[in-house]
Amino acid sequence: MENASFVLKDIKSVVIEDRPKPRLKDPHDVMVHVAQTGICGSDVHYWQRGRIGDYVLSGPMVLGHESSGVVVEVGDKVKNLKPGDRVALEPGVPCRRCDYCRGGNYHLCGDMIFAATPPWDGTLAKYYINAADFCYKVPDSMSLEEAAMVEPVSVACTIGKTADLRAHQTVLVLGCGPIGVLSQAVAKAWGAKTVIGVDVVESRLEVAKQFGADYTFSPPRVEPGEDPIAHAEKVANLLKEKFNLGEGPDVVLECSGAEPCVQLGIFAARRGATFVQAGMGKENILFPITAVCVRGLIIKGSIRYLTGCYPAAIDLISSGRIQAKKLITNRFKFEQAEEAFELVKARRQDVFKVMIAGVDY
């Protein structure tokens, strides 16, 4: 095959097909031989439902966006990379010209080309073309698996930066999936005094303890017929008492998207605290907005990556402060990609991060 690619043909229909090898058209681009790709929940979402919010599958699309690889060709004007360089790929390239880009907020660019977001193809192919300035050379000490993990770690850095994390803060993280535990690790690396991880799955709480959580908490589930808002307030008080948090944490990072966790986080937060919503679950939920007002909470949404977060993630991994490779629980060859996606879809408690190797033929 010239350029084997893992293609989402239609909802719940995927296939490995041969596509033409891409050609460099922009002198500032590079071609990368993809080495490792992690599966993200958004990939599975497109596979199963064909859309995320306004982004709707309109035709066949290559999946994947958490990738690393080796540069094989560079455009005429590329100065920062050469063939043979090992890189982590930032999968969203903005226009660089709009008011958002010019204001330093390129993650909000309306014309961003983002891998595996309709209509743009993703990185689960032998070759992928990316802008040279969105490919980051990794140290020789970093494996290409670790380089693929730069993407989720940079998401966690973005969540932390959005929250404006400061030293000696108390940080509550709701949801201990990959992004949640990496957010805990980033908070700790950036000087948090106390980090508390919350999840209903015991095995995930055990992982959280290895990634910066000083304490973990498994909230009691709402009883049938119980008012969910009253339950959230009750659990928030229980949490604050258990960990001697006084009025509550300084920062709440919501990384689950689960409605009860969002409600819990609002009631747990101290007055004036910052609450960052990063998890995506149901599109519309019951939200205690009056509590936000009377507590004077600062509510922020976090999406993709902010300026400097990819270099920060590379530094955190290469220095050993975040041992991202420990999150990889399952590895598959490229030709087993559908099997890998099926495993992620099954939502098994012992599966954390699934990695697909690149095409080696």
Q: What is the pLDDT of residue 18?
A: 97
Report the SS3 class of residue 326: helix
H-only helix segments in 163-246: 178-189, 202-209, 228-242
Which residues are 37's β-sheet partners? Answer: 67, 356
Average pLDDT over residues 34-51: 93
What does the pLDDT look like over 314-323, one tens digit per residue? 999 999 999 9
pLDDT surpassing 90 at residue 54: no
CA–CA distance, 112 with 95 (Å, rounded to integer): 6
> 24-38, 42-56, 250-264, 294-308: which has the minimum mean pLDDT?
42-56
Q: What is the pLDDT of residue 8?
A: 97
**Percent of the chain at pLDDT exceeding 70:** 100
Is 313 inside a domain boundary? no
CATH number at residue 194: 3.40.50.720
**Percent of the chain at pLDDT exceeding 90:** 95
What does the pLDDT look like over 270-279, one tens digit per residue? 999 999 999 9
> 44-48, 131-135, 314-318: which has the minimum mean pLDDT?
44-48
Q: What is the pLDDT of residue 53?
A: 81
CATH number at residue 333: 3.90.180.10
Tell me, yes or no, whether 31 and 64 share the same domain: yes
Domain assignment of residue 353, given as a range: 4-148+323-357
Q: What is the pLDDT of residue 52?
A: 87
Domain total of the chain: 2
Is 109 inside a domain boundary? yes
Q: What is the pLDDT of residue 95?
A: 97
What does the pLDDT look like over 258-305, one tens digit per residue? 999 999 999 999 999 999 999 998 989 999 999 999 999 999 999 999
Q: Are the C-beta atoms of residues 325 and 142 closer than 8 Å to each other?
A: no
pLDDT surpassing 80 at residue 361: no
CA atoms within 13 A on the CB side of 224: 0
What does the pLDDT look like over 189-241, one tens digit per residue? 999 999 999 999 999 999 999 999 999 999 999 999 999 999 999 999 999 99
Is 306 inside a domain boundary? no
Task: Please calculate the CA angle 67-73-75 and round it to the nearest 5 degrees.
Answer: 105
> 5-19, 45-59, 138-152, 239-253: which has the minimum mean pLDDT?
45-59
Tell me, yes or no, whether 287 and 216 share the same domain: yes
Is 97 inside a domain boundary? yes
Is 310 inside a domain boundary? no
Tell me, yes or no, whether 102 and 170 share the same domain: no
Tell me, yes or no, whether 177 and 270 share the same domain: yes
Residue 120: pLDDT band (50, 70, 90) is: very high
Is 250 inside a domain boundary? yes
Tell me, yes or no, whether 136 and 69 share the same domain: yes
Tell me, yes or no, whether 62 and 133 share the same domain: yes
Tell me, yes or no, whether 216 and 344 share the same domain: no
Is 144 inside a domain boundary? yes
Residue 78: pLDDT band (50, 70, 90) is: very high
pLDDT surpassing 90 at residue 61: yes
Tell me, yes or no, whether 209 and 245 share the same domain: yes
Report the SS3 class of residue 137: strand
Is 309 inside a domain boundary? no
Q: What is the pLDDT of residue 41?
A: 85
Tell me, yes or no, whether 141 and 232 share the same domain: no
